[in-house]
Amino acid sequence: MSKQQVRNDGENVENALGRVRSIADYQFGKGVGAKLFPDNVEILLSPRTGRIRYIHLNNERLATLRPTDGLLSLSIKAAQSIAEQADFAKSLVTVQTDVSSFIARGGDVFAVHVVDADAEIGAKDEVIVVDEQRRVLAVGRAQLSSAEMKAFKTGVAVKVRHGSKES
């Protein structure tokens, strides 16, 4: 089943691009959307519903718009782009360097290894996991709020979806 593509020839693409940029700004910090999704991104629609499903750049997936909550799930490439924008990027979870290889291979983040987490993070939010040198290790979904990640010494803090070194 092929996906329908939004073409760069009408108002529809401006609406779709504006929408994904707005969602990225809301989710990851003001200004992230314009930097993450340049004008030449390819937006793929669901053939069944006609809604935005995937955002690609140079035939590589940057993000998926989740149908359950209307928020973005990121690829590692998109996470690296956001993490580079340290001034206004949010939703970052910093972990101890000694566990970075485990997490980069797709292992979950445990609360005991969390060094810092952005204050805005809530349970079930999309987060970017970085080490203490700000290298992107993984993307996933927070299982705990920011305060809980820093306070708890047991339990999974982030359920990792993609590690940066997964084969």
Label each residue of 99-134 as H, E or C: HHHHHHCCCCEEHHHEEEECCCCCCCCEEEEECCCC
The predicted structure's pLDDT at residue 88: 66
The predicted structure's pLDDT at residue 83: 86
| Boundaries of every domain in the chain | 4-75, 90-163
Helix (H) or strand (E) holding 78: helix 76-84
> Could you read off the pLDDT of 73-94 as tens digits, one per residue?
999 999 998 888 766 678 899 9
What is the domain class of 4-75 according to CATH?
A: alpha beta
Which CATH superfamily does the domain covering 90-163 fall into?
PUA domain (2.30.130.10)
Q: How far is it, in rounded angstroms, from Cα 6 to Cα 21?
A: 15
> Could you read off the pLDDT of 59-76 as tens digits, one per residue?
999 999 998 889 999 999
Helix (H) or strand (E) holding 149: helix 146-151
Q: Tell me the CA distances in angstroms from 126 to 15, 59, 93, one per residue in order.
A: 23, 23, 10
* Phi then psi dihedrals of residue 49, to 5 deg: -105, -20
Of 82, 87, 137, residue with least CA distance to 115: 137
Q: How far is it, in rounded angstroms, from Cα 151 to Cα 131?
A: 18
